[in-house]
Amino acid sequence: PPTSPGFPLLSYLESASLMSGTLESLSGLGEDGSSLGSDSEVNGLVFRRTDKYGFLGGAQYSEGSACELRVDVARQREMKWLDMFSNWDKWMLQRFQKVKMRCRKGIPSSLRAKAWQLLSNSQELLDSNPGKFEALEREQGDPKWLDIIEKDLHRQFPFHEMFAARGGHGQQDLYRILKAYTVYRPHEGYCQAQAPVAAVLLMHMPAEQAFWCLVQICETYLPGYYSAGLEAIQLDGDIFFSLLRRFCPMAYRHLKKFKIDPILYMTEWFMCIFSRSLPWACVLRVWDMFFCEGVKIIFRVGLVLLRQMLGSMDKLRELQGMYETVERLRNISPESIREELLVQEVVSLPVTEALVERECSIQVCKWRESRGELCHNPGRRLHGTRAIYELKRRSGSFRPRGSFSFLGGPVASPGPLRASSSVLSLPGFRKSKAPFQFPVNKGSFSGSSVSESKLTPGGGIPGRCQAQPAESGAISPARASAHGPIAGEADALAPGEEEARRKKSKEEKKKEKEEEKQRSREQKEREKVEKVRLKKEKKDKGGA
């Protein structure tokens, strides 16, 4: 297949300037392909050969996968995903493990755009903000950011037919998205690593949908990654290095020996979600799992790559110094990465949300001791679609007191959800399928409807707060408190009732604390068992 010139695959922030001029290398392409893209005319030459992903050449060009699915299997998978789309809430609530398994198998290409939007909850943002994207486009924008964005456009996937032509449709839509984000979050502005992420989204969906998906990545999955100072990526680099010590001591010792800081090689991996580092089939599989399971997938992929490249003495003998090691990590050979093998190892690696959060707490303490207070709040991150869905369910089920949520049970105003919390750690989640009962807050809304909540600057998830419609024209006693004069009775409680309610709230809080302590003890026991197991495995390997 056509290849790119041998420019080094440096970290994104260092290599952006080297990407200019690479379009001229496409002149050696053959003309026997069947795909002709609308943007495939570059410098007056028309290139007809593209792979199935739209690449004209370069390191991510692929001749075709050896493990292509049979047509009947592909159609069967599509039907399963379409069934999930039609009952999404039910699947997320009752059969999430099946959703996760299907994401790990790979989302069908024809349905990937819709799946990513539902998994990330960007579809909800799109529906809740009609006309918002167009309004952001009409804003003037900060000239400082717009100038940098324009200079970066031609550097994003120059070998892909969508972005190959300067000023083509792909580059125009990319500019629209990146400019809109600088207007949407002016305090964050633009980070160069956002461009390849937005470009990957544009390859799968229209500009407006891609914008809201980018918002979710920047504010929910990877908050702080693209903010000034890059504290979040530095903190995750420390977490990553600590995890490497546990899961691949040989690679850890080698990097430690030559004082190779994680930021030298993992910046591009994490900030671009491997979109510029892996073969394209692997990129798509990683993104499928990332949207479902969150940032732990990025940690797992990085650990697997280091284990493959630095995990044996034979491989380390080839890398006698810092320069050779960094070059190897920045230039991952496509031939060394097999799609199914990569996914299999990523799935089997026991890096859990709880482990990531535990390491995060440790590294935050070390950061504060050595560098002072963080500007970035590491507790904003949500671990994948289940945590996002749970937060949406809690905020979206907010009703006037006594009304019913979409799950069929009375739910009062939801309490705060820590972003670092695992969904399974929510009180009562493991014990009962019924929705968790929150204490009723004094002064809850009254009236026949509640307006929809808006996005907060901190990147919160919008919830739809609407009163349930009455069925068959009758209002049941359970729902009557949300209608007419009865709603006013919430503010006129007898002193005894108010005291009883306050006492009940205290008892529930006490119960929550006890459950939290119990979960903490169980977690410590699990970690202790895991530590003993790893120690035994290490001893067995040493004996062998």
The percentage of residues in the chain with a pLDDT greater than 70, rounded to a whole number, is 70
Phi, psi of 468 (to 5 degrees): -70, 135
Tokens 């900030």, residue?
A: 271
**CA separation for the pair 443, 491 (Å, rounded):** 7
Asked if residues 339 and 282 have their Cβ atoms less than 8 Å apart, the reply is yes
Other Cβ atoms less than 10 A from the Cβ of 296: the count is 22
Give the mean model confidence (pLDDT) for residues 111-128.
94
**pLDDT value for 534:** 81
Asked if residues 335 and 62 have their Cβ atoms less than 8 Å apart, the reply is no
Q: Is the pLDDT of residue 206 over 90?
A: yes
**CA separation for the pair 33, 41 (Å, rounded):** 15
Q: Is the pLDDT of residue 496 over 80?
A: no
Question: What mean pLDDT is reported for the chain?
Answer: 75
DSSP string, 181-198: HHHHSTTT---TTHHHHH
**Better-predicted residue by pLDDT, 348 or 476:** 348
**pLDDT value for 361:** 93
Spatial neighbors of 404 by CB under 8 A, at least 6 apart, are 410, 411, 468, 478, 479
Q: Which residues of 491-514 are buried (b: 16+ CB within 10 A; e: fewer)?
A: eeeeeeeeeeeeeeeeebeeebee
**CA separation for the pair 348, 341 (Å, rounded):** 11
**CA separation for the pair 380, 459 (Å, rounded):** 9
**pLDDT value for 335:** 80
Is the pTM for the entire model greater than 0.85?
Answer: no
DSSP string, 101-170: HHHHH---GGGHHHHHHHHHTHHHHHHHSTTHHHHHHHS---HHHHHHHHHHGGGS-TTBTTTSSTT-HH
Asked if residues 417 and 397 have their Cβ atoms less than 8 Å apart, the reply is no
DSSP string, 299-334: HHHHHHHHHHHHSSHHHHHT--SHHHHHHHHHS--G
269-327: per-residue pLDDT in tens? 999 999 999 999 999 999 999 999 999 999 999 999 999 999 888 888 888 888 889 98
Helix (H, G, I), strand (E, B), or coil: what is residue 410?
A: strand
Q: How confident is the model at residue 110 (pLDDT cuts 50, 70, 90)?
A: very high
Three-class secondary structure assignment of 20-68: CCHHHHHHHCCCCCCCCCCCCEECCEECCCCCCCCECCCCCCCCCCCCC
**CA separation for the pair 516, 426 (Å, rounded):** 9
Of the candidate ranges 22-26, 111-115, 365-369, the one whose mean pLDDT is the lowest: 22-26
**CA separation for the pair 321, 8 (Å, rounded):** 17
**CA separation for the pair 97, 476 (Å, rounded):** 36
Q: How confident is the model at residue 497 (pLDDT cuts 50, 70, 90)?
A: low
Asked if residues 270 and 298 have their Cβ atoms less than 8 Å apart, the reply is yes
Three-class secondary structure assignment of 419-475: CCCCHHHCCCCCCCCCCCCCCCCCCCCCCCCCCCCCCCCCCCCCCCCCCCCCECCEC
Q: Is the pLDDT of residue 212 over 50?
A: yes
Size (the chain), residues: 544
